[in-house]
Amino acid sequence: DPSWNPATDAQAVDRVFRIGQDKNVVIYRLITCGTVEEKIYRRQIFKDSITRQTTGNAKNPYRYFSKYELKELFTLDDPHSSTTQQQLEQMHSGQRLTDPSLDEHIAYLYSL
């Protein structure tokens, strides 16, 4: 089964080859089209490519992001409001079921 974390799969692949082994190792990934496994695998490939493009390495020293863009990734935005929160609220606010105790707790958090 593919893992959400590409490093987990890479570690599993590395465990197949033993120190002192002379023969090549072939790894087959059996993934059915149109399944959750396929989606996980696609995300895995995407995450791995971002890591490689961001950090660069001896084989591919070119970085996808500039230093400024990387710095911007780790710059904190407004802690009271986020673009993601606003988009989710727009998409799902009409479906929200209210809970009086939860609403009371949220009001308390806002008062802090």
Could you tell me which of 80, 86, 77 has the C-alpha nearest to residue 112? 80
pLDDT-based confidence at residue 56 (cuts at 50, 70, 90) = low
Asked whether residue 87 carries a pLDDT value surpassing 60, the answer given is: yes
* Contacting residues for 106 by C-beta, under 8 A, at least 6 apart: none
Q: What is the pTM of this model?
A: 0.44
Structure tokens at 105: 């707790």
Q: What's the chain's average pLDDT?
A: 77
pLDDT surpassing 60 at residue 16: yes
* 109 has pLDDT over 60: yes
Q: What is the share, in percent, of the chain residues with pLDDT greater than 90?
A: 2
Residues 2, 44: contact at Cβ < 8 Å? yes
